[in-house]
Amino acid sequence: MVAHLAPRGRRLLRPSRREAGTALLFVLPFLLLFVVFRFGPAIAGVLLGFTDYAIGGDTGWVGLENFRRLVDDPTFWSALQVTVIFTALSVPLSMVVSLGMALLTRRAFRGSKVFRSIFFLPVVTSLVLAGVVFTWVFAEGGPWSRAMGALGLPAQSWLADSVLVIPALVLVSVWSRFGYGMLILLARLQDVPAELEEAALTDGATAWQRFRYVTLPQLRPALFFVAVIETTISFQVFDMIYVMTGGGPVRASYSLVYLLYDQGFKYFDLGYASAVGVALFVMTIIVALIQRLTLGREQ
């Protein structure tokens, strides 16, 4: 009797076509909204990159003319340099801080959940509000310049210095984002089998050797995910720069997205702005593929 009931039970767990169709009908409105408002603007932005569309003017197909303008535009190359430098500094530093905080709060101790919440708090804090606060912090005569003066260093505003403005923005960026990476790495750390570290400890491995040869390899998928997310966010940095520096001084913090904003919403040259967005998208994909080959490849 049991033998006859088992197949019937399995058939009951398999949804019928009618049930699948009903479920699809419930999902379809949200799927359509997602496609229209997510992929629709993305496709329209790519197409606009091949036109001379400007608000209040005629629109014509110009082919690759906007991308030729990018190649000949020194402002684009300057903004690209700023974006690359910012990304090259903020991504590794943010990942190191995230990993350090994840290792620090990995073990359960009294108040560990409180510390995790405090470390994650900047992620849910408004970056515009944080930018206003840090503008005061890095201003001349602010807490940061006074601390530098106490250490015997020049007590100046980092945001007004063309060399120090990017490090200042990197510090704010790392402060605002490391909690997210910490949460992802912490979740992965808690899934690492304790038997692996115990076996390495029994074999006489030091703390660094256990981290290097046991823990770190287990973190590679999570590190790859965090690296891609951090890189994407760094390439798209805008609001913090808009609030704290306005792209200055002397365009020392003028990023690609700031260039896109100026061209599209200040000069209303939406065709050229879309070309900047397409170039930014292609560069982000290329960097993500490189990270996939280095961090995300299967062993």
Reply yes or no on whether the pLDDT at 115 is more than 60: yes
* Nearest residue to 238 (alpha-carbon basis) of 230, 246, 248: 246
For range 232-240, the mean pLDDT: 92
Reply yes or no on whether the pLDDT at 2 is more than 50: no
In tens, the pLDDT along 186-211 reads 999 888 888 887 888 888 888 888 88
Q: At what angle do helices 165-189 and 112-120 cross, to 10 degrees?
A: 140
In contact, 244 and 255? CB cutoff 8 Å: no
Q: Please report, in angstroms and rounded to a whole number, the separation of the first and last CA atoms in the chain.
A: 48
Q: Give the model's confidence band at 298: pLDDT under 50 very low, under 70 low, under 90 confident, else very high.
A: low
For range 234-242, the mean pLDDT: 93
Listed by start position, the domains of the chain span 74-294
The per-residue b/e assignment along 121-153, b for 16 or more CB within 10 angstroms, e otherwise, is ebeeeebeebbeebbebbbeebebbeeeeeeee
- Res 55: pLDDT: 75
Percentage above 70 pLDDT, the chain = 93
Of 20-29, 33-42, 55-64, 126-135, the range with the lowest mean pLDDT is 55-64
Reply yes or no on whether the pLDDT at 9 is more than 90: no
For range 64-78, the mean pLDDT: 93
- Res 4: pLDDT: 47
- Reduced to 3 states, what is the DSSP secondary structure of residue 162? coil
For range 162-186, the mean pLDDT: 93
Instruction: Give the C-alpha separation, 253 to 258, whole Å.
Output: 9
* Nearest residue to 74 (alpha-carbon basis) of 259, 286, 266, 267: 259
- The dihedral through the CA atoms of 212, 208, 95, 163 has a sign that is negative
- Res 245: pLDDT: 92
> Is 1.10.3720.10 the CATH number for 74-294?
yes
List of long-range contacts for 86-89, beta carbons under 8 Å, 24+ apart: 86/166, 86/169, 86/170, 86/173, 86/234, 86/237, 86/253, 86/255, 87/231, 87/234, 87/235, 89/166, 89/167, 89/170
- Reduced to 3 states, what is the DSSP secondary structure of residue 61? strand
For range 151-164, the mean pLDDT: 88
* Nearest residue to 101 (alpha-carbon basis) of 123, 125, 120: 120
Residue 212 is given by DSSP the state I
- Res 294: pLDDT: 80
